[in-house]
Chain A
């Protein structure tokens, strides 16, 4: 338990930051000893996530990689407030998390669009549910966001008329329309073909830059994780835990060509060896 926690690198050391404000300001998201266990029918306890610490700064892009069963989705569901932790505490802006928050948006692996609503009506769904006003202003914002994600002109189409990639773009617009500052993305592009996936990765980085959101992105694709993130959280299964956090000090904006460079390859290999258990927990700080 202690071993798993000491391996986690804290965010950038702040010795060189002269401003004291930056040192004391809490991270956007702070997980302290968060764990999740389930009881099976015959009373056995299954550990889905062993005690975990993680700090996320505002504006960071963090990817979580790991094989199935390592607790990636559990971790995301805990942060979203859809499930409650069995122990520990999740603080959002320093305040303990009590259930789902309007500041956290989720993009699922499936687009989860409502078939009986047009694209724009789907994007407006959170606005209607949260009863945000003025409606007219959000309608205009939804329109702009659809243009941002490349769906201008498709506002009045229905989900079944859209390809998988376009549906996922609409789902992303839906989480951006309200003031969610943290985006949780659970393998959002896993069901798409490789080319659409790369295209959407580039677009996601552009939207992230443009909107200044913080993103927590679950994937089992290592190059995807390296391409997207500032830091990669490496998780291992049985019991699910964070094995290491690897910094990705590659300059932005990033392009697909970057994926062919030696530096990119080194980082990806480091993550790979951490996942397969052969590597030591090195190269975290950078």
Chain B
């Protein structure tokens, strides 16, 4: 495929304002904390957060791995489940009539409120975190899949019918590719939902993970530690987001609109 060049100038033009904004904010934060003598257990200075990050390397590494494990397993399960159920619901009439209303009712429920019960049912280990993660990451994938499949162009379906295509041929050659961009948008939300829910589940019942760590640090008035924790989690979230966006660009090359048009 065509490669897109990133000239140094463009990177600088786009990157510099972002870096400058962040640098200014951090500087203001540092100044405010020092000037007003805010106690470190209340709001830590950026330097305190940096120190906490450096000192707690091993602690963060170990707990981050636990959180990542639950998040990714839950994400993969949710995406798989969302694709399969989304396809079944939109392709098979009686499943649409029976399962779809139930799933929509579940979707309307504040699922996070069920987390304490899920911990009771599935225990303190990874299982409860994964169940909670799947439970919340499933819906954006599922709903986007259903919607995406139904956006298929009726003319393309008619064209396939004129070739006497089977339902599965129409699904794989028309509907599924049409749904892919929607699916990717759903996955992008799902990965963040998954991480959020796993952390909440770790708040409530766990002895490992970033959520568990945040609860402990808060209890010990270790505000710098909590901030360090949040910075790590934000970075992970950004990596997920851009990672999925990168995969999406590769996979959905045809949705880019900047292609050069050739004239007849």
Interface residues of A (CB under 8 A from B): 80-82, 99-102, 104-106, 108, 110, 112, 114-116, 125-126, 128-130, 150, 154, 157-158, 160-163, 165-166, 169, 178, 196
Contacts and interface: CB of A to CB of B under 8 A. Distances in A.
Contacts, number: 73
A183 B213 CA distance: 69
Contacts of A100: 161-164
A130 B159 contact: no
Given A125-B163, A161-B261, 5 more contacts: A82-B162, A108-B158, A116-B177, A166-B262, A166-B264
B262 A112 contact: no
Contacts of B21: none
A118 to B, nearest CB: 10
Nearest to B159: A112
B163 A130 contact: yes
B155 A129 contact: no
A150 B161 CA distance: 27
Interface stretch (B65-73, B117-125, B137-145, B252-260): B252-260
A162 B174 CA distance: 20
10 contacts: A82-B158, A82-B161, A101-B164, A102-B164, A129-B165, A154-B262, A158-B259, A160-B257, A163-B264, A178-B163
Contact of A129 (B158, B160, B257, B263): B160
A98 to B, nearest CB: 11
Contact of B177 (A80, A114, A129): A114
A160 B259 contact: yes
B247 to A, nearest CB: 16
Interface size bracket, B side:
20 to 34
A231 B262 CA distance: 36
B224 to A, nearest CB: 50
Given A100-B161, A106-B162, A158-B254, A114 B261 contact: no
Contact of A161 (B156, B163, B259): B259
Interface in B124-173: 153, 155-156, 158-165, 169, 173
Interface of B: 153, 155-156, 158-165, 169, 173-174, 177, 253-255, 257, 259-264
Contacts of A115: 254-255
Contacts of A105: 162
Contacts of B257: 160
Contact of A112 (B155, B164, B165): B155
A195 B153 CA distance: 29
Main secondary structure of the interface of B (DSSP, over half): helix
A81 B263 CA distance: 35
A-B residue pairs, 3 tightest by C-beta: A165-B264, A129-B163, A115-B254
Contact of A108 (B159, B174, B263, B264): B159
Given A106-B159, A114-B156, A129 B262 contact: no
B9 to A, nearest CB: 27
Q: Which of A80, A116, A161 has the most CB of B within 10 A?
A: A116
A163 B261 contact: yes
B168 to A, nearest CB: 11
B264 A196 contact: yes
Nearest to A175: B162
A41 to B, nearest CB: 20
Contacts of B153: 112
A161 B262 contact: yes
Contacts of B156: 112, 114
Contacts of B169: 129
A101 B161 CA distance: 9
A163 B159 CA distance: 21
A88 B163 CA distance: 24
B164 A130 contact: yes
Contacts of B260: 161
Contacts of B161: 82, 100
A104 B262 contact: no
Given A112-B155, A158-B254, A160-B257, A102 B163 contact: yes
B177 A163 contact: no
Contacts of A169: 264
A219 B221 CA distance: 78
B40 to A, nearest CB: 55
A130 B162 CA distance: 10
A196 B263 CA distance: 11
B259 A104 contact: no
B249 to A, nearest CB: 14
